[in-house]
Structure 1
Amino acid sequence: MSAPNSADLVVILGTGGTIAGTAEEATDNVGYRAAQLGVAQLLQAIPPLGARRLETEQVAQLDSKDMDFATWRQLAGRVAAHLARPEVAGIVITHGTDTLEETAYFLQRVLAPTKPVVLTAAMRPATALQTDGPQNLLDAVNVASDAAASGVLVVFAGVVHSAEQVRKVHSYRVDAFASVDGARLAVVEEGMIRWLAAPGSRPAGMGLTLLDRPLGQWPRVHIVMNYVGADAAVVDALLSQGVDGLVLAGTGNGSLSQGLESALRAAQSQGVAVLRSTRCDAGPVTESAEALPSAGALSPVKARVELLLKLLAA
């Protein structure tokens, strides 16, 4: 038995999602209800975890399409509290797949932890004939216990991704996540982690105090997309309702129609912060002195998180 003070404890925080979902029929992988099982119940389906030193906490119980700022703030606080405990080796967060990449990036930018914080999920409910949740959760615990792991990671379908690179790229398959530009960090094979690359330079954490502002005063940041026929209508509508930041999901290298560009520059002149991303699955938006500010290699949803946090900091 491990010594009580040894850093071998993995804390598993539950937030709901498909991994905790149930359906009336075992063959139903679509018509299920997410967030029905508690995180402690999920462990019962994974006998190998019975020998591990684990602790569970139910932070939220929701479908990740309904993830919100209040839950983000609560989750960040609980992660920080557990990371500060010397006996904790790492943290696992069970989450829904729909907004997992946004939560992962949010936690990395706020906390930038040195210990591993591993998000995992499932594409099939816990009641499915071939549910993927138990294996993903087992893999996540193994990664959270690995001395080489650090920062916010996503473990899914046997692959380890960084919070900055990972995206959901398929609506149904069990290997629904990928890292852009092929930047996988590691693979999990029969419980063993084979590291392929070390995470690159990661930005410093912005700190939990950033989130102290009352939720009703958090900046309003929205995403607009460029497409054939895109004009100023959406931007004008958002400005009329009050908006603090806009992220462009541009075509190609962050390009945008003349009408949309004029609207965004007008918004910028009114004090609205603007970032240019791309609706492409991979690749950065290059900087240009003549163009609107670039979000670099961040996807539109992660660029929105980045802009939100920068506005909170300001």
Structure 2
Amino acid sequence: MQPADLADHGVISTASLRSIGIGPSAIRHRVRQHELLPLVRGWYAVRQPGSARAPWDGADRFETATLRHALVATALVRSFDGRVAASHASAVVLHGGRLWRSDLSTAHVARVVDDHSRHRRGAVIHPSTGQPPMLTTSGVATVPVAWAVVQVGLVPSVDGRPSAMESLVAADGALAAQLVTRSELDVAIDAHGGHPHIDAVRRLLGAADGRHESVGETRLAHALRHLGYTVVPQLEVCVDGRRYFADFALDAEPVLVEFDGLGKYLMAANGVAAAPDPASRARFAVAAQRRRQDELEQAGYEFARIAWSDLEDLSVLRAKVERARDRARRRRTA
């Protein structure tokens, strides 16, 4: 029998390993061989025999951090044998939600029945939320998703300070995935009414919108609101029988504002997934994106394309939008 045969949710305890004859020296050997990964005291992640990639290794640093965080959170919940549920960023990750700058080096759980808190290396055990836990699709206990969404904006992010934007990013993702409702978010906000940072979270979550499809779109929507623009998310435009969706359209003006994140192309997708390799898919996506923009411009729209760096300098963002508005006005008067 192998560790993978006894692993539950991808993790296994030292006691289970010993039950199949894998003692301390054998555990250390398997860790060196990249077959086991230490998570929390007495718990390990397990690599399936013959797998091309370990379940804790992602395609990039963020995916790797997310995968490892999910495994640590799962092991932490399992180690308490029903007495805690994943909370904060850990619950969001386990439900497949969106995060931006949460500190994934720290796992969060909340006690199920009492109000004691505790800090340990790499983990925080919070008091009970007073709400019954729910289960992820894989069966791991978490606090209600709405509670987790609010919580992520109340604890320090990677820069050491709470960020209400983290709650907005998580809320947009949860609404898009139909993991929460607007009323559930409102109840969760009210339940945290005594927290010193709840006012900032409350203000931002008032604009939560499941039509935003990425972290970048959530941040862009917030920036546009801050600059005073009124926009329509995911505007559908039909050109010669083809349907396109724009990230944002200025209200009452033929200007489309789009977020250009890495590898992100909004298009009438047909055939991208069938391309034979990543390089071919990328070339197909770029060509389709260019064709899409040409067709929409011929239909009378102007584009303001926004990059990640523009979100850090609102004067640049405003200038791009205003140039697109000017082009639209000149087109109307030509």
TM-score, reference length from structure 1: 0.25
Computing the radius of gyration from Cα coordinates, the structure with the larger value is 2
Structure with more of its chain in helix, by fraction: 2
State the structure with bigger RCO (CA 8 A, min sep 6), 1 or 2.
1
Structure with more of its chain in strand, by fraction: 1
TM-score, reference length from structure 2: 0.24
